[in-house]
Every structure is written in structure tokens, then in C-alpha cells.
């Protein structure tokens, strides 16, 4: 607070000062009078502010109103009774291990229930638990005595939609149900380098074998994976995977890939036109040209060439003779694939060819596959086959000194070298299809750019 007597003293001194200033100003020059008048105004304003400034309130005399309320304490005994009325369950999660039996799996899950084990063994659907691959997750809910309340796992039997298996207790009995699983789709990107083999490289890059096999199919018309791979070859791949609750359920399709082989880069992207009435899809180069050639470069997935298309000393006849095909050495029983779409023209034995299949294609093209150990089930003359269909298995029937496939490529019944003959591709995309494809290809090209190693070879279209 500002005391009243102190305020009076300050005020009287200020007034005396103002009067003295006034006498001095009145006898001075005009400039001095202006400056002095301003000083008098500020002094008068200061006095007014001091006189009217509010005083700070004194809170020590403020009234205090206490408020009190009684709070009811929780009934501890009631809470304990409520917990005792609710059954307590235990949830355990385990992954199937190699060599697991039902007993060892249930033991790790904390299940001590003979009735549950008997049901799983006897029920057709529940028995699927015993067929799960290593690494698959199984979740069990049990009571405090170890009796099974429910058990769940994801079944993937190779179909389009995996199923969730649930075994649950209903009173004194059990039941098993399987419902379609809701999966999370992810897109993964990997890169690898060839040092010894394709599968060794994909294992190092943590790429599933199913994806590696698709890579072979994608570029089979341009790269012979048995003979063309070189140390230092590189590949990039974008593919889809499907997950549930953080577990990998299955791999999907390769969405795009590129392979740097012997200084050339081959590229492919999967495209399924949503506007197509027939559905399906295929692999195309990034310019929209189809990668599916009329003929495969090799009827076998993995093998080596033991004899080429040239003059040679026949291993049995001992004479120099034109070898009219290419021999692919492979273990007995290796699947042989049709090189192109066509109609089976001959199935049976034929001189030195042994067991042979001849397929007629279009425009005078035909292919022959000799020395088979056996034919594929149901293969017969006149039936239609599609490219990559299995038509037989490698053997050494006829004039052969070891298991291999004798493969001939004929044009108007004249043998030609299948490794060098030039055959057409399927029709390229055009119009609205090509525009929709370009949107897909642009995204995949961006992903490939992120995976690509600086200084890699220039692009060479896989459709060449």
C-alpha cells in the first residue's frame, strides 16, 4: 500500500519543482520553452499515475471454506469372490519343430488332456495339426488343470485361401472348425549375386525357393539357367508374401524381376489387366512386350548340355555323324516340359530314340524328346499340351550311354539348332491395356532402381 502522508510529501515536492521549472521556461527561448513544456507534461502524468495506481490486496484476511466428503472403500471380499467365480485360463504359444509328435507339441503347450489328444488323433480335420510344417505357430488355451479349452493354427494346403483351424471344447466334447484366414499382403524386395548357383544365391538373399523357381520360369526363354549363368551375375526381385498375426503363411507371386546375365540385363513385370474378360495375366518387359516366347530355351529346369548340335563321334556307333539335337544331361526321373503349345503327334518307342514324344506346333514347327524313362500320366497321341506341361521324365532308353534328354527342334521336319533358332514372341500390349500396364511398370521400375547396383550393365529387353 502507498501511505497517504508519503503521497502528500511527494506531491508537494513535485509541485514546487514544476513551479520552479515554469519560471525558468517563461524567461527562455522558444525552443527551450517547447522542451520544457514537454517535461512538465510528463511530470504531471507521473504524479497522476502514482495517485491512482491500485494497491495489492492482502490475502491473509481472505475467507476459507473447507469442503469434506466421505468416500466408500471398495469391498475387498466382494472383489475376491468375483474373481473366484470367473474361470482362469492360460494361453501358450509354440512353433512346430522338426520331429515333433502330437504328444511333444501338446506337452510344450502345457496341455495335459488325454481326451483332447484322442480327439485330435481321431478327427479328420483336427488331425491336420499333426501335419503342420516346422515353424508353424500353434496357440493353446488351457485351464488351471491343463485341460484344453481351445487350440488354433493356420492351415496352408496350397489353395488360394489358407484356413484357420480351431479346436474347442463344448461341455464334455470337442469340435473342430476351419474358416478362411484373413491375411495381410506385403511386398518384399531382395537382391542377390551369383557365386556358385542360383539357389545358393537366393538362400543367401533369404529368398524363398518358391520365388527362385518363379524367377527361372520368368526368364527361361532368355536364359538357360543350366549353362548361361556366370559368376558375378546379379538379380533383383519384387514379390508378395502373406502374413497372419506376424507369421509368414505363404509366398505369392513374383511381381517384377531383373537379371544381369553375361553383360545383358533382362527385365520382367507381372501384369494382369483388371479389364480383361478372360482374367489371368503374364510377364512383360517394361516396354509392354510379352516375355513368353513361342518356345522354351530348355525343356529341363536345371541341367547341363552334354552334347550340342554338331558333327560328333557317335558314342555307340563309333562313327562321325551329325547330331541333330541337343543333349541335356540330368538324373533319371527329371521332369521334361513341353517347349511350346501344340498337339502330341507321337508317343512310343522309335529306333535309337528309345521312348520318345513328338509334338506338332504351328507353321511347320515340331519338337521331339527322346530317351525318356517313362511318359507322363495320360499323355497320348492327339491330345493338346501347353507350354511347360510335363510330358515325360529323363531316362536312358534307346541308344544312350547315360541318363539324358535328346531334344530336337524341327522346321518342316528338318532339324535346327534349338539354342540359336529365332522364334517369335507372343503379341505385345497395346491401346488401353498398354496405358494400364505403364502405371504398374512405373512403380516396379522405381523399386528396381532402389535395388540396382551402380555400374550394372545396360538394359536389354527380355523379349529380344
Looking at residue 462, the DSSP 8-state letter turns out to be T
> Partners of 365 in the beta sheet?
411
- Tell me the whole-structure pTM to 2 decimals: 0.54
- Cross-strand pairs, 404: 329, 395
- What is the residue-wise DSSP string for 205-229? TT--HHHHHHHHHHHTTT--TTTT-
Assigned C-alpha cell, 403: 541318363
How high is the pLDDT of residue 463? 38
pLDDT tens per residue across span 444-456 = 999 988 988 665 5
- Give the Cα separation of 449 and 265 in Å (integer): 13
What grid cell was written down for 339?
517347349
Find the mean pLDDT for residues 429-443: 87
Alpha carbons 229 and 241: distance in angstroms, whole number: 27
Query: Among 418, 384, 381, 206, which residue's Cα sits nearest to residue 300?
Result: 418
**pLDDT score at 443:** 92
What's the pLDDT band for 461 if we cut at 50, 70, 90? very low
More confident residue, 179 or 362: 179
The model's confidence at residue 272, banded by pLDDT at 50, 70 and 90, is: confident
pLDDT of residue 391 exceeding 80, the answer is: yes
Give one word for 279, left, alpha or beta, with left for phi > 0 and alpha for psi -120 to 50.
left
Distance CA(425)–CA(297), nearest Å, equals: 13
Task: Output the CA–CA distances (angstroms, integers) from residue 48 to 3, 7, 40, in the order listed.
Answer: 15, 11, 13
Position 25 scores a pLDDT of 47
* Bridge partners of residue 234, in order along the sequence: 193, 260
Amino acid at each position: 500500500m502507498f501511505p497517504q502522508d508519503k503521497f502528500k510529501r511527494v506531491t508537494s515536492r513535485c509541485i514546487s519543482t514544476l513551479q520552479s521549472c515554469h519560471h525558468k521556461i517563461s524567461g527562455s527561448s522558444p525552443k527551450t520553452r517547447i522542451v520544457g513544456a514537454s517535461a512538465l507534461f510528463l511530470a504531471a502524468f507521473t504524479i497522476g499515475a502514482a495517485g491512482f495506481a491500485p494497491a495489492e490486496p492482502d490475502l491473509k484476511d481472505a475467507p476459507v471454506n473447507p469442503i469434506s466428503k466421505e468416500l466408500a472403500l471398495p469391498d475387498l471380499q466382494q472383489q475376491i469372490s468375483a474373481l473366484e467365480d470367473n474361470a482362469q485360463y492360460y494361453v501358450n504359444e509354440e512353433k512346430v519343430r522338426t520331429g515333433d509328435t502330437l504328444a511333444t507339441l501338446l506337452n510344450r503347450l502345457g496341455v495335459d488332456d488325454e481326451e483332447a489328444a484322442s480327439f485330435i488323433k481321431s478327427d479328420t480335420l483336427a488331425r491336420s495339426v499333426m501335419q503342420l510344417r516346422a515353424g508353424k505357430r500353434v496357440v493353446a488355451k488351457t485351464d488351471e488343470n491343463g485341460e484344453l479349452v481351445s487350440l488354433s493354427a493356420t492351415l496352408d494346403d496350397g489353395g488360394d485361401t489358407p484356413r484357420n483351424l480351431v479346436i474347442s471344447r463344448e461341455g464334455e466334447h470337442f469340435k473342430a472348425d476351419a474358416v478362411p484366414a484373413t491375411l495381410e499382403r506385403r511386398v518384399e524386395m531382395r537382391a542377390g549375386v551369383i557365386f556358385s548357383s542360383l539357389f545358393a544365391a537366393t538362400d543367401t538373399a533369404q529368398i524363398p525357393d518358391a520365388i527362385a523357381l518363379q524367377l527361372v520360369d520368368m526368364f527361361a526363354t532368355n536364359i538357360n539357367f543350366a549353362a548361361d549363368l556366370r559368376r558375378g551375375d546379379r538379380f533383383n526381385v519384387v514379390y508378395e508374401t502373406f502374413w497372419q498375426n506376424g507369421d509368414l503363411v505363404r509366398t505369392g507371386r513374383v511381381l517384377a524381376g531383373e537379371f544381369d546375365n553375361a553383360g545383358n540385363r533382362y527385365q520382367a513385370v507381372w501384369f494382369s489387366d483388371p479389364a480383361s474378360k478372360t482374367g489371368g495375366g503374364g510377364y512383360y518387359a517394361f516396354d509392354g512386350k510379352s516375355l513368353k516366347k513361342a518356345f522354351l530355351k530348355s525343356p529341363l529346369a536345371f541341367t547341363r548340355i552334354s552334347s550340342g548340335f554338331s558333327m560328333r563321334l557317335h558314342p555307340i556307333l563309333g562313327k562321325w555323324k551329325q547330331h541333330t539335337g541337343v543333349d541335356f544331361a540330368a538324373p533319371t526321373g527329371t521332369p521334361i516340359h513341353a517347349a511350346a503349345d501344340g498337339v502330341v503327334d507321337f508317343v512310343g518307342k522309335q529306333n535309337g530314340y528309345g521312348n520318345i514324344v513328338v509334338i506338332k506346333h504351328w507353321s511347320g514347327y515340331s519338337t521331339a524328346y527322346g530317351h525318356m524313362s517313362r511318359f507322363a500320366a495320360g499323355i497320348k497321341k492327339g491330345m493338346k499340351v501347353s507350354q511347360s506341361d510335363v510330358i515325360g521324365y529323363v531316362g536312358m532308353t534307346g541308344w544312350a550311354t547315360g541318363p539324358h534328354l535328346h531334344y530336337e527342334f524341327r522346321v518342316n521336319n528338318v532339324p535346327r539348332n534349338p539354342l540359336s533358332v529365332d522364334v517369335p514372341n507372343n503379341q505385345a500390349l497395346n491401346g488401353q491395356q498398354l496405358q494400364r500396364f505403364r502405371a504398374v511398370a512405373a512403380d516396379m521400375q522405381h523399386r528396381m532402381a532402389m535395388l540396382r547396383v551402380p555400374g550394372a550393365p545396360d538394359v536389354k529387353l527380355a523379349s529380344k
